[in-house]
Amino acid sequence: MTFLPVWAPAAQQMRVVIDDDIHEMHPTGGGWWESSISVAAGARYGYLIDDSADPRPDPRSPRQPDGVHGLSQVHDIDPEIWSDSAWTGKPIAGAIIYELHVGTFTPAGTLDGAIDRLDHLVGLGVDFVELMPVNAFNGTHNWGYDGVGWYAVQETYGGPDALARFVNACHLRGLGVIIDAVYNHLGPSGNYLPEFGPYLTTGATSWGQSVNLDEADSDEVRKYILGSALRWLEVFHVDGLRLDAVHALVDRTALHLLEELQIRTDELSRRVGRPLSLIAESDLNDPKLITARSEGGYGLAAQWSDDGHHAIHTTISGERQGYYADFGSLECLSKVLREGFFHALTYSSFRRRRHGRPIDPQHVTTTSLVVYTCNHDQIGNRAVGDRPSAYLTPGQLAAKAALVLTSPFTPMLFMGEEWAATSPFQFFTSHPEPELGEATANGRKAEFAEHGWDAAEIPDPQDPETFERSKLRWAEIEEAGHARVLDFYRALITLRKEVPELSDDDFASVAIDFDADNTWFAMHRGALTTIVTLTETSVATPFSGEVLVAWEPPSDDGILSGHNAVVLRRT
């Protein structure tokens, strides 16, 4: 039973609609209102603000069965779902993370459908499944970053009970779960928060108005965000959060929201008796995020490292456009693998200013950085959403995989990369409002037209086919070429888990050799060496030993074929 409290500090009158009956609410202080009517599970309800005749969904709605514009529903997770009491969790550091989008991971595009593929991830050697945002958004499908229901689970994915079933199924298989949570902006449709209170400011980010974290009445807004984050971790038994674009969180208070969330997460972790991790996506290259609180940092478990991606991708692919301009040299790759950040108080030509700050290796471990060959952004924000498998050779894909999976960082895969999936991952939306859909499609085309693309080549985000062709084609894993890539990924992951040198999280544990003229690059971790060759022609390197994993083994005289990756134990 609940009394449906709501925060609406500027309202003069508040009423709650419960199953078509209207009830007056009374203020309880601090801008909060409450009804004296108790409400049973399953009831539909919404709020009437002042003289409005249209009920609005609850900002803390646990379920939106009719979408983000509909009434909320009183809902608690069915306790019969949970059978994961034996799950004690695991740390993020050095684990294998697998990012997926629920809607395109399986033909069904649901959380229950995704359960059917978990055994594939177990066989691959994955430790954590990272779900792109699953909170409620308008429409039937999109990437999830246009969410407006920060406490609810998208109904087309199966709703809150389906998420609980998915997490429980993961835990029973030894898999942790990370949720991608977006607190830096709200979507363009279904955001009724400003009608309730000052959730937003007059400032703006690339995605719209800033969330009010430090202006008048921001304390309750911060509690709203903290409540959402902790709900994923506690109510849904989730093991970690990936926090989207934290550089867009404008917070000038002495206790930054990220540090406050880390404090609350640590408290919850102690209470539930298992590790709970926060991972930031940050464009700042600021080690403060991943420096311990005792050393003046925020103490987050990890952050995504775009520098790691850019250094590896440009070295292998040769691409240099846009923000790749400063990357691509073997010196750059060497610096990233040894120091973590490339831009660290160095000039960024893309930003046209100095950027980043060096990592202090005495206070930050290598596994605090999450590195990847690709992710949803690095594929989906390309003009046509093409994966590296569309424009790189299998040997080049192998080289990228070897650098990531034998690196000192925490590796992450993007769904399908492990078998060189041919399906693109394109930018797709399903805005029901025609004007919003048209604006989204036109904006996408205009953005890439500025970079020389023909607008006709840019997929229409609103076209249902854009969504459909982005779904994985699971039959590919049985095909010879794809199966070979999958075997290579499995071998690398097995090696990472079994060889002690690959668990060393000290920056000093990495040594590098390379030959720019003969186009080979070698990363040493103890007696282990990962060698990648960067041209189509065969290459001789000065390293020999026991070959542990190879895309193409060396010849008897130690020659490596072009575009190759080999991991060996040096003699």
Catalytic residue among 244, 251, 286, 418: 244
Integer Cα distance of 325 and 382 in angstroms: 16
Strand partners, 21: 18
Amino acid identity at 168: N
Say if residue 343 carries a ligand binding annotation. Answer: no
Long-range CB contact pairs, 52-59, < 8 A, 24+: 52/195, 55/17, 56/192, 56/195, 56/196, 57/149, 57/192, 58/4, 58/6, 59/6, 59/7, 59/150, 59/151, 59/192, 59/193, 59/196, 59/199, 59/224
Per-residue tokens: 239: 């093991």
Say if residue 306 carries a ligand binding annotation. Answer: yes
Say if residue 460 carries a ligand binding annotation. Answer: no
Integer Cα distance of 490 and 481 in angstroms: 15
Integer Cα distance of 128 and 411 in angstroms: 11
- Concerning whether 281 is annotated as a catalytic residue, the answer is yes
The answer to whether the Cα torsion of 250, 200, 244, 443 is positive or negative is negative
- Concerning whether 463 is annotated as a catalytic residue, the answer is no
Say if residue 247 carries a ligand binding annotation. Answer: yes
Say if residue 227 carries a ligand binding annotation. Answer: no
Amino acid identity at 139: G
Per-residue tokens: 397: 């894909």
Say if residue 310 carries a ligand binding annotation. Answer: yes
Among the listed residues 467, 355, 368, the one whose alpha carbon sits nearest the alpha carbon of residue 410: 368
Q: Are 417 and 372 in contact (CB under 8 A)?
A: no
Say if residue 381 carries a ligand binding annotation. Answer: yes
Integer Cα distance of 370 and 523 in angstroms: 18
Say if residue 243 carries a ligand binding annotation. Answer: yes
Say if residue 252 carries a ligand binding annotation. Answer: no
Q: Which residue has the tokens 């400011």?
A: 201
Say if residue 524 carries a ligand binding annotation. Answer: no
Query: From residue 220, how far is each of 5, 10, 265, 431 by CA, in Å?
Result: 13, 13, 18, 30
Strand partners, 570: 545
The enclosing H or E element of 397 equals: helix 394-405
Catalytic residue among 127, 146, 239, 281: 281
Say if residue 37 carries a ligand binding annotation. Answer: no
Q: Are 301 and 93 in contact (CB under 8 A)?
A: yes
Say if residue 376 carries a ligand binding annotation. Answer: yes
Say if residue 50 carries a ligand binding annotation. Answer: no
Say if residue 379 carries a ligand binding annotation. Answer: yes
Q: Are 263 and 226 in contact (CB under 8 A)?
A: no
Say if residue 239 carries a ligand binding annotation. Answer: no
Strand partners, 514: 521
Residue ranges for the binding site for substrate?
A: 242-247, 306-310, 376-381
Q: Annotated active-site positions, please?
A: 244, 281
Residue ranges for the binding site?
A: 242-247, 306-310, 376-381
